[in-house]
Amino acid sequence: MARRPMRTIVAGALLFVGFTASSLAAGDPARGRELATALCGRCHATGPAGASPLPAAPPFRTLKERYPIESLAEGLAEGLVTGHPAMPEVQLEPAAIADFLAYLGSL
């Protein structure tokens, strides 16, 4: 009986890894940049240079130094929320996630 939950966890993890690996390759970085600018540019530096408008918001070009970019996929699909109230909840469709991750990966 304990094997069934473990199989479910492993299957979910494999699905997630497959989704994230293909998302970076399949996404359109140009559309991802548009999304990043529109949704996040009010607080974050979304380009390859410059400071964030909100000093506490990390520039997107530094995110890959903090953790694997593809780890954002699940949060973006389910609704990315953080511990500070100023950041709005962000939830994207799979194609938009692929574009967004492709852009972050290109920085």
Global pTM?
0.70
What is the model's pLDDT at position 84?
67
Whether residue 13 has pLDDT greater than 60: no
- Answer yes or no: is pLDDT of 4 > 50: no
Are 43 and 53 contacting, i.e. CB atoms less than 8 angstroms apart?
yes
Spatial separation of the C-alpha atoms in residues 27 and 68, rounded to whole Å: 16
Split at pLDDT 50, 70, 90, the class of 89 is: confident
Helix H or strand E encompassing 14: helix 3-26
Task: Tell me the HSE value of 21 on the side-chain side, using a 13 A CA sphere.
Answer: 6
Question: By percentage, how much of the chain surpasses pLDDT 70?
Answer: 73
Q: Where are the domains of the chain?
A: 3-106
Does the domain at 3-106 match CATH 1.10.3470? Answer given as no
Max intra-chain CA distance, the chain:
54
Range of weakest confidence among 51-60, 65-74, 94-103:
65-74
